[in-house]
Amino acid sequence: MFKKGLNLFQRVCYSNAMLHFFYGIPRMIFLVMPMAYLFFEQHLINAAAVTILSYALPQLMISSYTNSVIQGKYRRSFWSEVYETVLSWYIILPTTLAFINPKLGKFNVTSKGGLIEKSYFDANIAKPYLILLLINVLGFSVGLLRLFVFNTHETGTVLMNLLWCGFNLAILGAAVGVATESVQKHVHHRVRMVMPAFLKLPGGYTVSCYTEEYSAAGLTLAVADTTGISEFSQVQVGLHRGDREFLFPAKIHFTETGQVEALFTNLTPEQETQLIQCTFGRADAWLNWQEDQTRDRALGGLKDVFAKGMIGYLRLFAWLKDGAVDLGNRLMGNKNQTEKWEN
């Protein structure tokens, strides 16, 4: 707000952009606030539950619908809730420290690439959300007791906090699901694009084909006749950029699904530059990047978040089950070892 050389609107714009990164604090408050009433019967707002819902629900519905209409081609409703929940715990400390003293805030570059041989649940990353999940589960259980056993004179308030707590559980389920690392077999990101290509085989034969996907490591090709193409044979892949033709050395590989992959070998720096120009640098490479995306519908986005939340809980239960089995095996192993020593 006090930076020299900015006009009023620039100050407001930049301040708004920077304040966005403090969303971790209100998001964490949002995730635990229903427990103030469910655990301690502390009323958050001095108004009847019906009055609060009468004002809050229409505003939430209209804002969600409006955002869906305006941004539905590019964004999905309610996914910002999951995004902020996943990052909130990890962004609170660095942003707060940077606000107090910019020299204290640190930024680490996310590692890129790498392979993941099998899926696994990263409990270390999910730990904050497992704690929040447990708190909300306990709060929801206490809320059910309040609804049917005691505190029944404030049914509306109990229901409102149960609804709030239930929404938190859905969001936290999706957040926990994010902690499951999926199998990653490709180091390089792949881009789908159909463009003409050709293979120059040993002996001078040429086979016409089309690309289906490409990456910095190779191409997935659609070849009509693979009779003359052998596994691991050294070929040259030809690509066009305008009127120019470029050749790249590659090795042929057949996938389990029968697709033909041309994996680049020993590209020179000049060839790497030419490859980028023929693929990622093409003006038409990104024209249809949204062709498979459907337009957002607010209720559809909410349904997707709830569905992902259920998947997150299934992954969590599977991890707990595996942990219980592993613990049982260890205990049995220790018991058998003890019996062996005793014998």
Give tens-digit pLDDT for 262-282: 889 888 999 989 888 888 887
DSSP assigned state of 117: S
DSSP assigned state of 294: P
Q: Which of the four pLDDT bands, split at 50, 70 and 90, describes residue 141?
A: very high
* Strand 218-222 with 260-264, pairing: antiparallel
- pLDDT tens per residue across span 94-105: 888 888 887 776
- Using the predicted structure, report yes or no on whether residue 56 has a pLDDT greater than 70: yes
- Using the predicted structure, report yes or no on whether residue 150 has a pLDDT greater than 90: no
At residue 73, the pLDDT reads 77
- pLDDT tens per residue across span 74-128: 778 888 888 889 889 888 888 888 888 877 766 665 555 555 556 667 888 888 9
Q: Indicate the pTM of the whole model.
A: 0.70
**Intervals of CATH 2.40.10.220 along the chain:** 194-278
| Count of residues making up the chain | 343
239 CB-near residues (< 8 Å, 6+ apart): 195, 197, 211, 245, 246, 248, 275, 278, 279
Find the DSSP H helices in 72-106: 79-100
CATH fourth-level superfamily of 194-278: predicted glycosyltransferase like domains (2.40.10.220)
Residue 116 CA from chain centroid, whole number: 16
- CA angle, 162 as apex, 121 and 166 as ends, to 5°? 25
- Cβ–Cβ < 8 Å for 78, 309: no
> For residues 76 and 297, what is the distance between their CA atoms, to the nearest angstrom?
8
Q: How many angstroms separate the first and last alpha carbons of the chain?
A: 78
What Cα–Cα distance (Å) separates residue 259 from each residue in 85, 106, 195, 210, 222? Answer: 40, 45, 16, 12, 7
